[in-house]
C-alpha cells in the first residue's frame, strides 16, 4: 500500500507542477515548447499549452521529491521524464484528432502520462503490480476532474463580456470570493482572513476592554469638505461638487446607511463617486449589502449621476446588480461629463490591490490629449500610472486611513503598497493631486480607533480663493 501511495502522490505532483508554475510566474517563460511549428498535417506539434516553463517546472520539481519516494534522484528524474513524454504524446495525438489545445479528454490525457512513470517507479520500488494498478485507478478520474476544474473555473470567464483579462490567478481569487454555491464554506477557503479579523483582533480588543468603544467609534462618521485647486479645470466646472464615498462595507455595521443619509441632510451634489468595497467580507453572500446600497443610492441627489469602481471586496458578477441599483460602473473605462459646452473626463479602473486587474492605459484610451481628467480607483496603488496619463486628480480609498491608528492619528497598517503619505487625505505626486478617503465603513473587524469614518465632499476650483469654513472646520485649498 505504501508503494501505491508514493506512486499516486508522484503522479499528482507531476500533474500539478505546470499549473502551479503558471500561477506563480504568470506569462513569464510561457513560450510554447513547439515554438509554433506544425506537423506534416499542418497542425501544431503539441499546442500553446505545452510550454518551456511547464517542462522545466516538472523536471525540477519531480526530481526534487526523490527522498520522499525513497529512490535516487536519477530514478525520480527518469520517472519525471517518462511522465512528460506521455503528456506530450497525449497532446500530439489530440492535435492529430483536431482537438483544441487545453481541451480535457478523459483517459487520453491521463493514460500515457501515468502508465509509463507508474510502471517504472513500481519496478524500481519492487512493488507488486496491484499497487501500480490501484494508483492508476485513482489517478485517472481525479486528474480528469482537476483538469476540468482548472479549465472551467480558472481559465474560463464567468460571464459574457467579461471585463478583465482571463488569468488563472484572478479566476482562482474570484472563485474563492464569489462562487455562491460555496457560500457556506467560504470561511474555510478564506481561513487566514477569518482567523486574523474575526478571532485575533476582536479577541485582543475584548480582552483589553475596548471592543465596545471601537464599535461605537466606527459609527461616528465625519463629513469633511475640501476645496481642490485645479489650474487646468475648465471654467464652467469651477465650484463643481463631488460626493466621495469609499469602503462602504454596508452589511458590516447596522444603521450605517441611516447615519450617512443623516449627514448628507438631503444635500445635492454635482457628482457622486463610490470607490468600491460595498460588501463587508471579501467572501460570502452579496444580497445584504445590495439591499443597503439600493436604499442609500435612492436618496443621493446629483446632477450628473453616481459612478463607481470595483474594490477588492467586490466581485465582477456584482456589476449588473450595482448598475441596477443606480450606480454606473467604470471597469477600466472612461466617461465624459459635459457642462456649458466644456468637458471633464471621469476615468475609472478595476481593483489594483487584490485582483490587480486594473488597466490604466485602456481606461485612458478614449481620453483626448490635454483633456482635464480625474481618476477614480479603489486604492492609491495605481498613482504612478495615473500620473503618467496626466490625470489631474486621483480619488481613492481602501486604506480606511489605517482604521486603527495611534493617538496621533498615525496609521499602524495601511494595507497598501503605495507610500504611506497616500494613506489618507490630500497628497500630490508629480503635479497630480490626490485624495484618499478614510472610508465610510469598517473592514475586517468593525472597529475604529483615532480614525473616524469619512464622508468626503470635494469642491473643484479653477483658481485660488480665500479660506472658507465648513462644519466648524477651517478648510484651506491646496
Rounded Cα distance between 316 and 323, Å, is: 12
Give the tens place of pLDDT for each residue, 345-386: 999 999 999 888 899 999 999 999 999 999 999 999 999 999
CB atoms within 10 A of CB 149: 13
**Looking at residue 102, what is its pLDDT?**
67
**Looking at residue 159, what is its pLDDT?**
65
- Band of pLDDT at residue 195, cut at 50, 70 and 90: low
Coil, helix or strand at residue 453: coil
Instruction: Quote the cell numbers at residue 329.
Output: 460602473
pLDDT of 292 over the 70 cut? yes
In the predicted model, what is the mean pLDDT of residues 33-48? 85
- Axis crossing angle, helix 108-125 with helix 73-96, rounded to the nearest 10: 160
**Looking at residue 469, what is its pLDDT?**
46
pLDDT of 51 over the 50 cut? yes
DSSP H helices in 229-302: 256-264, 287-297
Rounded Cα distance between 15 and 79, Å, is: 13
Rg of the chain taking only CA atoms, in angstroms? 27
pLDDT of 308 over the 80 cut? yes
Q: Show the domains of the chain with their CATH numbers.
A: 2-156 (no CATH), 201-475 (3.60.21.10)
The continuous run of DSSP H or E covering 60 comes out as: helix 52-64
Percent of the chain at pLDDT above 70?
A: 87
CB atoms within 10 A of CB 2: 10
- Residue with the bigger pLDDT between 235 and 108: it is 235
The continuous run of DSSP H or E covering 96 comes out as: helix 73-96
**Looking at residue 470, what is its pLDDT?**
43
How high is the mean pLDDT of the chain?
A: 87
- Band of pLDDT at residue 16, cut at 50, 70 and 90: confident
Give the tens place of pLDDT for each residue, 66-106: 998 889 999 999 999 999 999 899 989 988 888 877 677 88
- Band of pLDDT at residue 281, cut at 50, 70 and 90: confident
In the predicted model, what is the mean pLDDT of residues 332-349? 96
- Band of pLDDT at residue 174, cut at 50, 70 and 90: confident
Rounded Cα distance between 312 and 129, Å, is: 51
What does residue 223 show for φ and ψ, rounded to 5 degrees? -100, 115
Q: Please say whether the beta carbons of 433 and 478 come within 8 A.
A: yes
Strand order in the sheet with 271-274: 222-229, 454-461, 240-245, 271-274, 306-308, 328-329
**Looking at residue 202, what is its pLDDT?**
79
Instruction: Quote the cell numbers at residue 14.
Output: 507531476
Q: DSSP letter at 449? A: B
pLDDT of 188 over the 60 cut? no
CB atoms within 10 A of CB 319: 18
Rounded Cα distance between 418 and 385, Å, is: 12
**Looking at residue 217, what is its pLDDT?**
96
Percent of the chain at pLDDT above 90?
A: 57
Q: DSSP letter at 70? A: T
**Looking at residue 187, what is its pLDDT?**
54
- Residue with the bigger pLDDT between 282 and 429: it is 429
Amino acid at each position: 500500500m505504501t508503494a501505491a501511495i508514493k506512486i499516486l502522490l508522484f503522479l499528482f505532483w507531476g500533474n500539478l507542477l505546470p499549473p502551479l508554475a503558471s500561477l506563480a510566474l504568470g506569462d513569464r517563460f510561457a513560450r510554447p515548447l513547439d515554438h509554433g511549428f506544425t506537423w506534416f498535417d499542418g497542425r501544431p506539434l503539441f499546442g500553446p499549452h505545452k510550454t518551456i516553463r511547464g517542462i522545466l517546472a516538472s523536471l525540477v520539481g519531480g526530481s526534487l521529491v526523490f527522498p520522499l519516494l525513497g529512490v535516487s534522484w536519477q530514478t525520480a528524474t527518469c520517472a519525471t521524464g517518462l511522465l512528460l513524454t506521455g503528456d506530450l504524446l497525449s497532446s500530439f495525438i489530440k492535435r492529430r484528432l483536431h482537438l483544441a489545445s487545453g481541451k480535457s479528454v478523459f483517459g487520453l490525457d491521463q493514460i500515457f502520462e501515468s502508465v509509463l512513470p507508474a510502471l517504472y517507479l513500481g519496478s524500481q520500488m519492487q512493488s507488486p503490480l496491484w499497487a501500480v494498478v490501484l494508483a492508476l485507478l485513482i489517478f485517472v478520474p481525479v486528474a480528469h476532474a482537476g483538469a476540468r476544474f482548472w479549465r472551467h473555473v480558472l481559465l474560463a470567464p464567468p460571464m459574457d463580456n467579461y471585463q478583465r483579462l482571463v488569468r488563472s490567478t484572478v479566476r482562482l481569487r474570484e472563485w474563492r470570493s464569489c462562487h455562491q454555491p460555496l457560500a457556506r464554506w467560504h470561511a474555510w477557503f478564506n481561513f487566514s482572513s477569518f482567523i486574523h479579523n474575526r478571532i485575533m483582533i476582536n479577541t485582543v480588543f475584548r480582552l483589553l476592554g475596548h471592543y465596545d468603544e471601537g464599535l461605537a467609534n466606527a459609527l461616528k462618521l465625519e463629513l469633511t469638505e475640501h476645496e481642490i485647486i485645479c489650474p487646468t479645470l475648465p471654467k464652467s466646472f469651477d465650484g463643481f461638487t463631488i460626493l466621495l464615498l469609499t469602503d462602504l462595507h454596508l452589511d458590516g455595521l447596522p444603521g450605517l446607511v441611516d447615519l450617512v443619509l443623516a449627514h448628507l441632510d438631503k444635500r445635492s451634489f454635482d457628482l457622486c463617486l463610490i470607490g468600491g468595497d460595498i460588501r463587508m467580507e471579501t467572501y460570502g453572500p452579496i444580497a445584504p449589502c445590495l439591499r443597503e446600497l439600493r436604499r442609500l443610492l435612492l436618496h443621493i441627489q446629483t446632477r450628473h449621476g453616481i459612478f463607481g469602481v470595483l474594490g477588492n471586496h467586490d466581485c465582477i458578477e456584482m456589476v449588473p446588480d450595482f448598475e441596477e441599483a443606480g450606480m454606473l460602473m467604470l471597469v477600466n473605462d472612461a466617461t465624459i461629463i459635459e457642462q456649458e459646452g466644456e468637458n471633464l473626463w471621469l476615468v475609472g479602473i478595476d481593483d489594483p490591490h487584490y485582483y490587480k486587474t486594473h488597466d490604466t492605459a485602456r481606461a485612458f484610451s478614449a481620453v483626448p490629449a490635454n483633456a482635464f481628467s480625474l481618476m477614480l480607483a479603489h486604492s492609491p496603488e495605481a498613482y504612478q500610472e495615473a500620473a503618467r496619463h496626466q490625470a489631474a486628480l486621483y480619488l481613492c480609498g481602501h486604506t480606511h486611513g489605517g482604521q486603527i491608528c495611534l493617538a496621533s492619528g498615525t496609521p499602524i497598517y495601511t494595507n497598501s503598497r503605495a507610500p504611506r503619505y497616500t494613506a489618507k487625505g490630500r497628497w500630490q505626486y508629480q503635479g497630480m493631486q490626490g485624495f484618499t478617503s478614510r472610508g465610510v465603513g469598517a473592514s475586517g473587524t468593525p472597529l475604529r480607533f483615532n480614525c473616524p469614518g469619512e464622508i468626503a465632499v470635494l469642491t473643484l476650483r479653477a483658481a485660488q480663493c480665500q479660506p472658507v469654513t465648513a462644519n466648524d472646520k477651517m478648510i484651506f485649498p491646496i
